[in-house]
Amino acid sequence: MKKKMYLHEDRSVGAKIVEFAVEAAVIVSLGLFLTTFLFSNTENASKAMEPTIRQESVVFSNRFTYALSKPKRFDVVSFYRSADDPESDVLVRRIIALPGETIRLFRGLVFIDGEQLDVSAYLSEITSDGIAENEIRLNQDEYFLMGDMPANSEDSRSSTIGIVTRKQIIGKAWMYATNLTDIHFIR
């Protein structure tokens, strides 16, 4: 009668440890690759994006999306607060105006290249025009971003953030979670 052979019986304890270490290294490397090059996460500490994204939630952004295409109007993006400091705060806001366009906010209305833009599907009432009360022309790598709740949002209307360059944009926000069982996709 033939003896049955099992793979796990033939390996020594040392071989099992080496195999486990290699598997763990591959998993950690894959995780680091995904979080470094493809995805980013940040805590949304403010009410600026409510009701789209709840305060105190973690927002996940896809870094790779904009390697294949350009950011579009109404995309929700994560970005560095400061163009000069990549270690600055990361914020999440919605793109309202695109490179090369002019934007003006007048009495709570948004005008792009002199035409009124309907933002009612995304933004609640705009109570402050901020620095955009005078027309602003965006350069070829600049974006104008606003929070979905403008009354509680520090965004491109504010001199502390202002116009956001393409270099500041980390990625397109695609999902947020308040805990492990409360996960939502962003529209």
**72 residue type, one letter:** K
- Confirm if 127 and 104 have CB atoms less than 8 A apart: no
Question: What average pLDDT does the structure give for the chain?
Answer: 88
Q: Is residue 72 part of a domain?
A: yes
Q: Is residue 2 part of a domain?
A: no
CATH number at residue 130: 2.10.109.10
Q: Is residue 112 part of a domain?
A: yes
Please tell me the distance from the alpha carbon of residue 169 to that of residue 172, in angstroms, as a whole number.
8
Q: Is residue 23 part of a domain?
A: no
Please tell me the distance from the alpha carbon of residue 142 to that of residue 98, in angstroms, as a whole number.
7
pLDDT at residue 6, as a whole number: 56
Q: Is residue 146 part of a domain?
A: yes
Q: Is residue 181 part of a domain?
A: yes
| % of residues, the chain, pLDDT over 70 | 88
More confident residue, 72 or 19: 72
- Tracing tokens 């470094």 back to the chain, one arrives at 36
Name the pairing type of β-strands 164-165 and 115-117: unpaired
Write the pLDDT tens digit of every residue in 73-111: 999 999 999 878 777 799 999 999 999 999 999 999 999
Smallest CA-to-CA distance from 79 within 160, 169, 156 is with 169
Q: Is residue 6 part of a domain?
A: no
20-24, 57-61, 126-130: the lowest-pLDDT one: 20-24
- The tally of domains found in the chain comes to 1
Smallest CA-to-CA distance from 43 within 28, 31, 61, 66 is with 61
Which structural domain range is residue 163 located in?
41-185
Instruction: Give 3-state DSSP helix, strand, coil % of the chain, rounded to 5.
Output: 25, 35, 45
Q: Is residue 51 part of a domain?
A: yes
Cα 74 to Cα 71, 95, 127: the distances in Å are 9, 5, 19
pLDDT at residue 9, as a whole number: 58
45 pairs with which residues across the strands? none
- Coil vs helix vs strand at 101: coil
Predicted confidence (pLDDT) at residue 38 exceeds the cutoff of 70: no
- Confirm if 12 and 21 have CB atoms less than 8 A apart: no
* CB contact set of 144 (below 8 Å; sequence gap of 6+): 95, 96, 97, 103, 132, 136, 138, 156, 163, 164
